[in-house]
Amino acid sequence: RRHTRYGTVTGVQTCALPISIAAPGYASEEFEIKIYDIKQGEKQLLVKTVPDTFTANGPTKGYYSVELADIDSNPTFAKQDTIISLSTSNDEIITIFQNEIVINEGEYYAIGEFQVNKPGEVSLYAESPNTDPDSSKITVLGATGEDDEIGRAHV
């Protein structure tokens, strides 16, 4: 329960609140902040990798994040510590340093890293009970700038 000059907020509801900023010597600004309600809480995982394309002679370490999201892909906080199982479609192309990560209660994401080993395409998968899984594709290009495994498949 929070008291504001616009009233008392007792639950999360979709609304827009006006915010005003003023400072001496500057024109005041007013803008809205939109607050959305939670749509059925933790419904899916979202996986992102950075970068998602590597070259054989470039960096060999990448990072991934796994986020908890509602049905509309908006971030949502974990109600309790949430264990996420991780796997890849090909452990020879990249190595993940842990098979599980935890999104701590009150957080909405966790971050990990992976090692690039050789050219090819691989998917990083994230799964957790009671949420839809997700994956992210990672491409490692060979010295010629092509994915060696894909290039051989088309020859």
Answer with the residue of higher pLDDT: 135 or 32.
135
Would you state the pLDDT for residue 21?
A: 78
What is the arithmetic mean of pLDDT over 35-63?
Answer: 85
Would you state the pLDDT for residue 2?
A: 45
Would you state the pLDDT for residue 125?
A: 98
3-state helix, strand, coil in the chain (%, to 5): 5, 50, 45
Model confidence at 150, pLDDT cuts 50, 70, 90, reads very low
**pLDDT single digits (tens) 58-98:** 899 999 999 999 988 889 999 999 999 999 999 999 999 99
User: Of 97, 102, 91, 106, whose CA–CA distance to 63 is shortest?
Assistant: 97
